[in-house]
Structure 1
Amino acid sequence: MNPDWQAYLQSQHALIENGRVAHFSDAAAELSTTQSATVVTDLSHFDLIQFAGEDAQSFLQGQLTCDVSKVGSPAAAVATYGGYCNPKGRMLASFLLWRDNSGGYLMQLPSALRAGIQKRLAMYVLRAKVTLAADPGDSLVRIGVAGSHAGALVQSILGEISPLPLGVSQGERGSVISLSEERFELIIAHEHTAAVWQGLRKGARPVGAACWDWLDIKAGIPVILPETQEQFVPQMVNLDVIGGVSFEKGCYPGQEIVARTQYLGKIKRRMYLAGIKVQPGRAAMPIRAGDELFSADMGDQSSGTVVNAAPSPGGGYDVLAVIQISSAEASQIHWTSPDGPALEIMPLPYAVDP
């Protein structure tokens, strides 16, 4: 996190822990507001990798699951979700990718993964004319805005925004990615962040990072974390459903396994949205990514894994979890043990084929 930006957020009553905003004084009230009103939050717990050079597109096309050619030009750009896999098709990272003002690319992923993924990708540059760099000096600040009035609020401050799904609009003070009709990410040059934040605060309540985590979960957007690296092929976390996998492009690490899963086999695990009401005696045990799930049909063998978890406005936690499809259809799923708190499966905001 940019030190000046961190100091500014702290002047706005932000409590910052481990590089992310925990809350702005009242975490429970902020979460409740996120469910019913318009909110604004800092997204510095994600990092950026910049890709530049004339071979940047072809390099990324040969490394990632998504079709980089469809990201488009800076003048008419869209962002895309995507994944980076090991040779066995297991995901090392998920990310959001878009073009920057210079014609290169920006990849956004959790801060805990950035250095390792950047180093691994750099190993494959070889003779390609492409450079990789972390955002120098944290010069680009990312801000999330969500709620029924979010679009009008963002537009009043930054001008016209793209109506396209994952559309990217460019302005003098930064860019806006339209994540949905009611959710936007702003990528703002550091010198404009205080003014933009103050403008947003006139119509939105500042909230902690966990509130954005909850919005990602409710949107069915998986975020691979250190606890879940190399556990899932992209289809298990529905990356194919949200446009993060191309089955028409050429090779990339793990492509053969990903394609075989799609065309020759039936996937046995898929990602579900669920709620978990934590029992009173377990209140001190937060639900986390990587936690195992169990069901009667699998006995003592795990039938699933938590991908992401965040406190729910209604109490307990909401989670994205990869679960054995047969278990989800036949049994009650439980957290951490066969007799642990039960998961209440909820509908995802998109259709998923078995």
Structure 2
Amino acid sequence: MEWQTRFSPLNLSTQDSLPELSVSLLDNFGMITIVGDDKKSYLHGQVTCDVVSLEKAQSTLGAHCDAKGKVWSVFRLFHHNDGYGMIQPKSAIEVELKEIKKYAVFSKVTIEESSDVILGVAGENADAFISTLSAETGDVRSIEGGSAVKAAPNRWLLVLTEEATQTLLDNNQATLTTHELWTRFDIESALPIVGSQAQNEHIPQALNVQALGGISFTKGCYTGQETVARAKYRGTNKRAMYIVRGTTSEALEEGAVELERSVGENWRSVGTLLTHYQFNDNQAMGLIVLPNNLDEDTRLRLVAQPECEWEIAALPYSLDDE
């Protein structure tokens, strides 16, 4: 449709100011929907977050794991239309859809990938803009053609039909841009992004899901719960997700971007970025899972660009257990 051609990349340096209102086309994200009489109980028994107590005006992060506690998906869950929506990286959905449906034959649920458009609204005018779309006041609001879901301060996800998307774009003055700007905001917020290349690699705590309210330790059984509980109560988890920043001599590739760390006079592989954002002044940032006992001043560098050193940046939240 014509509306898709309105979005263009927004090339920014580390010093450039951000738009007061931006709308990003999040074509790198998708959504799984769950409807049916057993939707709440079925989903509650599958994921790390508390589905039963999730109010209509609330959303939550959560993870879906295999039986060994390794993550298939990290998603944002919310009430949508007559069921639930689970927004997550599009590349993860093929595998996640198969896994989340594995036991659905025994319940009255319909689980499928949504065809709705996902947009990201951001900027100091974002909250005011959302208020023009709905008279509701919660963090999840019904709007014409879909839902608005608060993802962070001054950031909202919109899930809309194509017709509603066209109408919305015809009636606002926001900067329309591609998904890279939203990726930057997710990195700065240290929100885990688990695409296909990182599925079945990490337990939820290694992705900081517990620090973001995405794990309930009182809800009862779900797939992978024993591993997740052991990581909390026995301290078996030795990894965490961090923001890293550094220089680049050329643009980072879209695929796997590997880092290594200094060990004495040598360098040793330390992991692959979950996602990254490239500025236009030879700077970049990303998210990566690292050993949680590294010193903050640990030297890192790009494997493909060894002259470019990176460093661990401060997280916007605490990883300490309550």
What TM-score does the superposition give when structure 2 sets the normalisation length?
0.90
Give the 3-state SS of the residue equivalent to 2:3 in structure 1. Answer: helix
Q: Which residue in 1 is equivalent to 2:263?
A: 296
CA contact (8 A) 2:59 2:149 kept: yes
Residue number in structure 1 paired with 2:4: 9
Change (3 A) 1:294 1:126: same
Distance 1:295-1:345 versus aligned 2 partners, 3 A rule: same
- Structure 1: which 5+ residue stretches go unaligned? 15-23
* Aligned counterpart for 1:51 among listed residues 34, 45, 55: 34
1:201-233 Cα shifts (integer Å, max 9, x gaps): x1x211111111111111110110111112211
Q: Look up the equivalent residue of 1:123 and give its one-letter code.
A: K
Question: In 2, Cα distance between the equivalents of 1:43 and 1:331?
Answer: 34
Contact 2:92 2:199 (8 Å CA) reproduced: no
User: How many angstroms apart in 1 are the aligned matches of 2:320 and 2:265?
Assistant: 23
Mapped to 2, the partners of 1:262 and 1:316 lie a distance apart of 36
What is the rounded CA distance, in whole Å, between the counterparts of 2:101 and 2:62 in structure 1? 18
Coordinate RMSD, CA, aligned: 2.6
Aligned counterparts, 1:323-338, within 5 A: 323-329=290-296, 331-336=298-303
| Counterpart in the other structure of 1:63 | 46
Match of 1:122 in 2: 101
Corresponding position of 2:189: 219
% identical aligned pairs: 29
Offset of residue 86 of structure 1: 1.5
Distance in 1 (alpha carbons) for counterparts of 2:26 and 2:194 = 16
Deviations 1:240-278 (A, max 9, x none): 111111111122222111110111025322111121211
The residue that corresponds to 1:113 in the other structure is: 92
Residue 129 of structure 2 is matched in structure 1 by 153
Count of residues in Structure 1 that have an aligned counterpart in Structure 2 = 321
- Which amino acid counterpart does residue 105 of structure 1 have in structure 2? Y
Aligned equivalents of 1:252, 1:41: Cα separation in 2: 34
Would you tell me which structure has more helix in proportion to its own residues?
Answer: 1
Please list, as runs of the form range in 1=range in 2, the aligned pairs for 1:14-53 lying within 5 A after superposition. Answer: 14=7, 24=8, 27-29=10-12, 35-53=18-36
**In structure 2, do the counterparts of structure 1 residues 331 and 250 end up closer, same or farther at CA, with 3 Å as the change threshold?**
same
Equivalent position of 1:321 in the other structure: 288
With over 3 angstroms needed to count, the CA separation of the structure-2 counterparts of 1:295 and 1:86, relative to structure 1, is farther
CA shift digits 1:141-178 (9 cap, x unpaired): 2211101111112222x033535xxx201134432112
Question: Which stretches in structure 2 are left out of the alignment for 5+ residues?
Answer: none
Q: Residue 143 of structure 1 aligns to which amino acid in structure 2?
A: L
**TM-score (norm. length: structure 1):** 0.82
Q: Contact conserved, 1:161 with 1:176, CA < 8 A, in 2?
A: no
3-state SS of 1:326 partner: coil
Summarize the Cα distance change of 1:161–1:275 in structure 2 as closer, same or farther, 3 Å threshold. Answer: farther
How far, CA to CA, are the matches of 1:162 and 1:44 in structure 2?
Answer: 27
More deviation, 117-126/238-247: 117-126
Correspondence for 1:197: 169
Residue from 231, 244, 249 that aligns with 2:214: 244
Task: Name whichever of 237-246 and 106-115 sits farther off.
Answer: 106-115
Q: Which residue of 2 aligns with 1:84?
A: 64
- Structure 1: how far apart are the matches of 2:320 and 2:309? 24
Alignment-derived partner of residue 95 in structure 1 = 75
Q: Structure 1 residue runs of 4+, over 6 Å off?
A: 30-34
